């Protein structure tokens, strides 16, 4: 069995961060979101992985993720020239997939459940497709499935006005190679894309064995800021241990589960976990509250931070008010001018949001 991870797209919901980088490389608990998916796939026994990349961010993904050896996998990169739909991504991956059954994973999704049991169910029941479902309070925002009491999928509807259930499609799918025929048989949707839901519906109409499993753990699509912060909170809660490799002076304290990387200096700070701090950071006269992730090379001086994600080489200096529920991009600088002006002047990128 092989796997493909979809890691293209423009990441419009995470702008302005994704103007300059891939959304799948935004870190959660100081690890790129994409890498969680790779690790989950390898843990399920699948080591041949194709990653679908875009022209805009593909080079960065290849550079940071590499050939897969660090994960115990072999990674092949597959260029999708334009974002023409999930089924189109499968179509261009067909030369890599060949006649192999495969797992398809959207690279900005995170789930709590292990994949191995589902892979075994897919094999043992000789299914043509196994889809993942999760109950959501707002099914009109998702692809929605209608299933019978035996778990067989009866119908899929994309973002319905009147949803037949509250079961949303999670961005993980298992397929036999018969899906390639289905994809070749469907037409682009009104938005001009080849939809994977249409391909699965084709399999259902063709009386193929399409089944569904409902996740009993959490599922997060990290395409928006609040979802990214929630993923950061959940993973810090579940995975953070207490490891301090950096240097804390006598006026600093780390309370609870705090992980501090090598060569980081902590001067007159209070850190209340769960918190992860990367390598080569400098924190001074600051408070770091729970559910914060601070990447490598960050400088925080006279800062008060909680429930936030700070990316690599960012600086926060002299902000008197507490910063909460925030994502601060790579190499960003937040500070107070030495002489405070009576008027505020901003130059802010498209789609930015600032709360003062």
Question: pLDDT tens digit string along 96-124?
Answer: 999 999 999 998 888 888 899 999 999 99
Examine the domain organization and report whether 225 and 262 are in the same domain. no
Structure tokens at 326: 């925030």
Is 352 domain-assigned?
A: no
Query: Mean pLDDT, to the nearest integer, of 204-217?
Result: 90
Two structure tokens written together for 231: 């993923």
Q: What is the CATH number of the domain that holds 298?
A: 2.160.10.10
Domain count, the chain: 2
Q: Is the pLDDT at 45 greater than 90, yes or no?
A: yes
Residues 6+ apart with CB under 8 A from 283: 264, 265, 266, 267, 269, 271, 277, 294, 298, 299, 300, 301
CA distance 292 to 288: 7
The arithmetic mean of pLDDT across residues 241-260, rounded, is 92
Beta bridge partners of 319: none
Q: 69 and 138: one domain?
A: yes
Distance CA 310, CA 319 (A): 15
Instruction: Note whether 149 and 198 are same-domain residues.
Output: yes
Q: Is the pLDDT of residue 202 over 70?
A: yes
Backbone angles phi, psi at 60, to 5 degrees: -65, -40
pLDDT of residue 208: 94
**CATH number of the domain within which 57 lies:** 3.90.550.10
Tell whether 291 is covered by a domain.
yes
Q: Is residue 325 part of a domain?
A: yes
Judgement on whether residues 227 and 286 belong to the same structural domain of the protein: no
Which of these, 101, 100, 93, lies nearest to 77 by C-alpha position? Answer: 93
Q: 91 falls in which pLDDT band (50, 70, 90)?
A: very high
Domain co-membership, 144 together with 208: yes
| Across 62-66, 88-92, 177-181, 351-355, least confident range | 351-355
What residues have CB less than 8 Å from 308, skipping those under 6 apart? 229, 291, 292, 293, 323, 324, 325, 326, 327, 328
**Same domain? 261 vs 129:** no
**Does residue 355 lie in a domain region?**
no
Residue 303 sits in the same domain as residue 155: no
Other beta carbons within 10 Å of 237: 14
Phi-psi category of residue 151: left, alpha or beta, with phi > 0 → left and psi -120 to 50 → alpha: left
141 and 290 assigned to the same domain: no
Is 221 in the same domain as 267? no
Domain of 324, in residue numbers: 240-335
- Expressed in percent and rounded to 5, the helix, strand and coil fractions of the chain are 25, 30, 45
Residue ending a domain, choose from 217, 234, 251: 234
Residue 318 forms part of a structural domain: yes
Instruction: State residue 267 phi and psi, 5-degree precision.
Output: -125, 120
Q: Report phi then psi at 308, rounded to 5.
A: -145, 165
**Residue 354 clears pLDDT 80, i.e. is over it:** no
Q: For residue 131, what pLDDT is reported?
A: 93
Specify the pLDDT at position 352. 47
């Amino acid at each position: 069995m092989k796997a493909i991870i979809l890691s293209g797209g423009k990441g419009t919901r995470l702008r302005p961060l994704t103007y300059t980088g891939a959304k799948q490389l935004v870190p959660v608990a100081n690890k790129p979101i994409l890498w969680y998916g790779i690790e989950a796939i390898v843990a399920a026994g699948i080591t041949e992985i194709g990653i679908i990349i875009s022209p805009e961010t593909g080079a960065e993904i290849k550079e940071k993720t590499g050939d897969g050896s660090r994960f115990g996998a072999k990674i092949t990169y597959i260029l999708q020239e334009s974002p023409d739909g999930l089924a189109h991504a499968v179509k261009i991956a067909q030369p890599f997939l060949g006649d192999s059954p495969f797992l398809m994973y959207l690279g900005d999704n995170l789930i709590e459940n292990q994949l191995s049991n589902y892979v075994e169910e897919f094999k043992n029941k000789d299914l043509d497709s196994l889809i993942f479902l999760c109950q959501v309070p707002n099914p009109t925002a998702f692809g929605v499935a209608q299933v019978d009491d035996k778990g067989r999928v009866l119908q899929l509807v994309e973002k319905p006005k009147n949803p037949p259930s509250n079961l949303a499609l999670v961005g993980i799918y298992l397929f036999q190679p018969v899906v390639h025929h289905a994809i070749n048989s469907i037409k682009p949707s009104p938005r001009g894309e080849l939809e994977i839901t249409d391909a699965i519906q084709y399999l259902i109409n063709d009386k193929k064995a399409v089944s569904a499993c409902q996740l009993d753990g959490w599922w997060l699509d990290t395409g928006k800021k609040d979802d990214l912060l929630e993923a950061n909170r959940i993973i810090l809660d579940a995975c953070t241990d207490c490891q301090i490799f950096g240097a804390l002076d006598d006026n600093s304290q780390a309370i609870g589960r705090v992980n501090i990387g090598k060569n980081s200096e902590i001067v007159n700070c209070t850190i209340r976990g769960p918190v992860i701090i990367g390598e080569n950071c400098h924190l001074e006269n600051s408070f770091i509250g729970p559910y914060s992730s601070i990447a490598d090379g960050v400088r925080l001086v006279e800062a008060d931070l909680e429930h936030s994600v700070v990316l690599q080489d960012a600086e926060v200096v002299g902000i008197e008010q507490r910063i909460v529920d925030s994502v601060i991009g790579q190499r960003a600088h937040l500070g107070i001018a030495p002489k405070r002006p009576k008027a505020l002047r901003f130059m802010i990128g498209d789609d930015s949001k600032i709360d003062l």
